[in-house]
Structure 1
Amino acid sequence: MSDPLSDNAEARIDDLVAQTKRKAERYRAMQQAVEQVSVSAASKDGTATVTVDSAGNVADLRITDRVREMSGDQVAKAVLTALRAAQAKLPDRLGEVMADTIGDDPRTRDTIVGSYRAKFPEPEPEPDEAPPPPDSRIGRLDDEPETPRPAEPPPPAPRRPAPPGDDDDNDEGFGGPVMIRE
């Protein structure tokens, strides 16, 4: 006669082994899919397009003939801008691949994607892409009156020195007397 407790334990162990094998297969599939990821981005003016692999390394670089009219600094800036933009796209793309392969393990996905976001953050806006000044008309309706900017406060009036020998209001040089006799 078989022991029901040992049969149950064996079934649970078999179940855990099967789950672990399935999980390992999904992780292998994820690794293979991640290795195939590449992301491209172009500079704002389109002179440079950079493709990066899943590690963020340059896999391809395309430069148009427009660079002939640009300085070396401008070309370098276009390439670096495109590179950073492509790298910044990696976390989202890898998150998609991981959701497809190991979707039932969001903690692992979030950890890996988070490390990619830390390594490849969104690029800072270019100086010419700075937010509009506060008095810009963006966001207002045309029939709204412009809000006048507050006037700059006038500079403080120069202080008159205290008359010599005036010791009643002596504050030891900390701001002078409050009232000045004339």
Structure 2
Amino acid sequence: MSDPLANVQRLVDEWERDAVEKAARYEAMRQEVERISLTGSAAEGAVRVTVGSNGIPSGVEMTDRVSRMQPQEIAAAVLAAMRDAQSRYPAELARVVGETVGDTEAGRHIVATAERNFPPPEDPGGELGGAGPRPRRDGPDDDGDFSDRSFMR
């Protein structure tokens, strides 16, 4: 006959081990997400914008070709390059989530939030590479969080 107290202890030990393993996977995910850096370009490479792990620009580079552009064209190209980089963020995040925590409800939520915040640019083949406004995508899973803080802090 099995000891009920021993069974309870075994279940607690398994739960604790699973929790520790899960925490380690999410910590690995957090560390990998912090390393994400994506660069987008516009105006035939005259403008490049790099975004970090939260999708916020961390660098802007311009070639001499911008000297032949009008100020509004430069501004539009900066926005287009930024959106180009940001639009690739959800796929990169999905890759990291898949490699670290796998197909979990929390992982799907994280990726879905990134997809809402950084949709593909409008007019991807256009002259400015999608410099038009990005519509807000409200949906049934919209949590109403309008903050620009990273979910990894």
Instruction: Please indicate, yes or no, whether the TM-score normalized by the shorter chain is above 0.5.
Output: yes
Residues 1-182 of structure 1: matches in 2 within 5 Å?
Answer: 4-103=3-102, 105-125=103-123, 128=126
For the residues of structure 2 that align with 1:83 and 1:112, how far apart are their CA atoms? Answer: 21
The gaps in structure 1 that reach 5 residues or longer are: 130-182
- Runs (4 or more) in structure 1 with deviation over 4 Å come to 126-129
Identity among equivalent pairs (%): 35
SS of residue matched to 2:45? coil
CA distance in 1, matches of 2:8, 2:125: 65
Deviations 1:52-85 (A, max 9, x none): 0111111111100001111101111111100011
Q: Partner of 2:143 in structure 1?
A: none
More helix by share: 2
2: CA distance, partners of 1:9 / 1:95: 37
TM-score (norm 1): 0.66
Q: Could you tell me which amino acid in structure 1 is paired with residue 23 of structure 2?
A: A
Q: Secondary structure at the match of 1:84?
A: helix
Q: Deviations over 1:87-110 (max 9, x none)?
A: 11111101101111101x432121
Paired with 1:108 and 1:128, the residues of 2 have a C-alpha distance of: 36
User: 1:121 Cα deviation (Å)?
Assistant: 1.0
Structure of higher CA gyration radius: 1
Q: Which has the higher contact order (CA 8 A, sep 6+)?
A: 2
Aligned length: 127
Alpha-carbon RMSD across the aligned residues, in angstroms, is 1.8
| One-letter identity of the residue aligned with 1:87 | Q
Q: Helix, strand or coil for the counterpart of 2:88?
A: helix
Task: Sort the Cα spacing of 1:128 and 1:50 in 2 relative to 1 into closer, same or farther, 3 A.
Answer: closer
Label 1:107 to 1:16 Cα distance change in 2 as closer, same or farther (>3 A): same
